[in-house]
Amino acid sequence: MKPVLFAAALAVPLLLAGCGDNPIAAPRPLNVVSGHIVMGATPDRPAVGYFRVQGGPRPVRLVAVTADLAQRVEMHETVRENGVTTMKPLAAADVPAKGELVFKQGGKHLMIWAINPAAVRMGKLTMAFVFTDNNNERILFDFPIKQAEGAADHGAMDHGAGPEASNGVVD
């Protein structure tokens, strides 16, 4: 008996939240709600960016992501064909109305070349999202920058010390 009552109590706020026709509630705006950048394993390799865009009242297309403090930013998609995983450039990505667009590991992602060292030291990179059908509005989002996974094995203090640093230790 008790679990049934509990479920009934939960159902009421869920129904209210699911009602999109409430004239009092402001429509959810198009927005970038989260994101982060993972640095390449070595400085010459591109960083990768992941994010989540919340759709607004109308469908729009994300046509570009740019960063003043990086040499180049591209949208990519990881695809698996005949058991081989490759990635291809993505010209645009749909943001459905009231839906979401997710760039995540193993799927759509950003590749970012040559992030300004000052931005890397600050630990964040501001990027601009350019949407069509949105009055050409640009939405800015500050991406926190994380070091590559596995980099912790050697530690940040080892930067610059290449494999040759261990020469002579063995033998």
Q: Which residues bind Cu ion (CB under 5 A)?
A: 76, 87, 111
Q: Which residue sits closest to Cu ion, CB atoms considered? A: 76
* Closest distance to Cu ion from the beta carbon of 92 (Å): 16
Tell the smallest beta-carbon distance from residue 38 to Cu ion (Å).
Answer: 12
- Closer to Cu ion at the Cβ: 69 or 77? 77
**C-alpha–C-alpha distance, residues 84 and 128, integer Å:** 32
Tokens standing for residue 14: 């869920």
Could you tell me the smallest distance in angstroms from the CB atom of residue 58 to Cu ion? 29
Residue 53 CA to residue 153 CA, distance in Å, equals 33
Cβ distance to Cu ion smaller for residue 53 or 76: 76
**Under 8 Å CB-to-CB from 75, ≥6 apart: which residues?**
62, 64, 65, 89, 90, 91, 92, 93, 103, 108, 109, 110
Q: Which is nearer to Cu ion, 111 or 130 (CB)?
A: 111
DSSP string, 15-49: HHHT-TT-SSSPPPPPEEEEEEEE--SSTTSPEEE
Question: Least Å distance between CB 15 and Cu ion?
Answer: 41
Closest CB to Cu ion among residues 31, 86 = 86
Structural contact between residues 46 and 40, judged by C-beta atoms closer than 8 angstroms: yes
Q: What is the DSSP letter of 63?
A: E
Tell me how far, at minimum, the Cβ of 86 lies from Cu ion, in Å: 9
Q: Report d(CA 119, CA 37) in Å as an integer.
A: 12
Q: Considering beta carbons, is residue 111 or 128 the nearer one to Cu ion?
A: 111
